[in-house]
Amino acid sequence: MVQSTQAASEPRYFQPRRLGHVNLWVDDLQTSERFYNDVCGLKVEFTEPDLIATFLGTGHTPHDLGMIQKTNGVDRYGRDGLLQLPGTIGLNSGLNHLAWELENEAELIKAFRSLKRDDIKTDITVDHQVAHSVYMFDPDGNYNEFYCDTVKDWRTVLNGPMELITSRWDPLQAEGFTEGRYESNPELRVVESAPVHPWRLTHATLHSPQIEKMVDFYTRIGGLHVVAEEEGAVYLAARLEGYDYNLVLVPDSTAAYHHASFQLKDEETLDRARAELARAGVKIAQEINLPWKHSVFLQDPDGMLSEWYVAKEGKRDLSVRGDLALAMAV
């Protein structure tokens, strides 16, 4: 089994509760927004027109899915002149970042200061009004946001079109509150007219040519723990109970984002989704029915996959997947 180089007695840096959201670069924001809202049933919570960004979700967090239109080489700025999106990034559609929700600001600050003490490089630190965030890259170059919520009732702050919301934040100067400001009993919402009615975002799947280095980063730095390894795929989980895992690393010759997975409540919800997708003329890229899950994969306007699934009680055994790609079977 793949092991982190971290000794059991060594502290991790970040200690996230769960995967809070996935953020994507898209070619055309309005086209992608319509797909994830009208077809996939994620509600538009708020937008940032100046940033050319949309944020959608189920209500568990301020957003399960963020989307930003590609920069096409042009810098975009946040509040107070902050260079938020340099034109050197976001040139192609794909993963922008994975976002990991921490318990509180004190934990976020402690982790950041420990990284600085140990001379481990981070990228930027920002104030998103409802969250404080530290960004850094994993060994494959995937961008990660480690954040804490700062406003429990986030819908009172973020709703509809918003002016630029992101500014600088200095964790070396912040005091750090110790209470959790996430919503423990969130108001969940669905798009009734959409074929799919998702319950929550649970995990993301990445291809990687260097699994051991990635496991080391996501355990030692990212604070996840390995819960399983099968057929070379490594499953990692954060701290919050009720989520079996939050990240799956799949071996491949090339590093790539494969998909995000959204759980549905039950088989009835999935059956409805399949029927409504057919009625709407939306093609299912792949349907999978294995002892441990039943899911459909959809392809968005940029060709990126997303999984909409129901967990089943059968034992996971990836060796019985047949010719199904490993990243789809996990």
Separation in Å, CA 55 to CA 102, 218, 239, 292: 20, 25, 25, 30
For the entire predicted model, the pTM comes to: 0.96
Do 162 and 24 belong to one domain?
Answer: yes
Q: Phi and psi dihedrals of 219, rounded to 5? A: -95, -55
12 falls within a domain: no
173 falls within a domain: no
pLDDT at res. 5? 47
Q: Is 220 within 8 Å of 6 (Cβ atoms)?
A: yes
Do 142 and 265 belong to one domain?
Answer: no
Do 74 and 155 belong to one domain?
Answer: yes
27 falls within a domain: yes
CA 209 to chain centre: 21
Among residues 144, 168, 192, the one where a domain terminates is: 168
Do 216 and 321 belong to one domain?
Answer: yes
Task: Give 77-88 pLDDT, tens digit per residue.
Answer: 999 899 999 999
pLDDT at res. 301? 98
pLDDT at res. 10? 61
Which is it for strands 305-311 and 256-263: parallel, antiparallel or unpaired? parallel
Q: In the sheet where 200-208 sits, what is the strand order?
A: 225-230, 233-237, 247-251, 200-208, 256-263, 305-311, 293-299, 286-290
Do 148 and 218 belong to one domain?
Answer: no
Do 155 and 216 belong to one domain?
Answer: no
Do 35 and 158 belong to one domain?
Answer: yes
Domain tally, the chain: 2
Residue 229, beta-bridge partner list: 234
174 falls within a domain: no
Task: Give 12-61 pLDDT, tens digit per residue.
Answer: 899 999 999 999 999 999 999 999 999 999 999 999 999 999 999 999 99
Task: Give 292-311 pLDDT, tens digit per residue.
Answer: 999 999 999 999 999 999 99
Over residues 225-239, the mean pLDDT reads 98
Q: Phi and psi dihedrals of 128, rounded to 5? A: -95, 15
Task: Return the CATH number at 225.
Answer: 3.10.180.10
Ordered DSSP codes for 48-110:
ETTTTEEEEE-SSSS-SEEEEE--TT--EE-GGG-EEE-TTS--SSEEEEEEEE-S-HHHHHH
Task: Give 243-263 pLDDT, tens digit per residue.
Answer: 999 999 999 999 999 999 999
Do 242 and 302 belong to one domain?
Answer: yes
- At CB < 8 A and 24+ separation, what contacts does 26-30 make? 26/67, 26/68, 26/69, 26/70, 26/93, 26/300, 26/301, 26/302, 27/69, 27/70, 27/93, 27/301, 27/302, 28/69, 28/301, 29/53, 29/54, 29/67, 29/68, 29/69
Task: Give 103-118 pLDDT, tens digit per residue.
Answer: 999 999 999 999 999 9
The CA distance from 150 to 273, in Å, is: 35
Do 133 and 222 belong to one domain?
Answer: no
Do 207 and 318 belong to one domain?
Answer: yes
Residue 320 has, within 13 A of its CA and on its CB side, a CA count of 9
Q: How much is the mean pLDDT over the chain? A: 95
pLDDT at res. 12? 80
296 falls within a domain: yes
Task: Give 89-148 pLDDT, tens digit per residue.
Answer: 999 999 999 999 999 999 999 999 999 999 999 999 999 999 999 999 999 999 999 999
Do 157 and 44 belong to one domain?
Answer: yes
73 falls within a domain: yes
Domain of residue 71, residue span = 18-168
% the chain with pLDDT above 70: 97
Do 91 and 206 belong to one domain?
Answer: no
183 falls within a domain: no
26 falls within a domain: yes
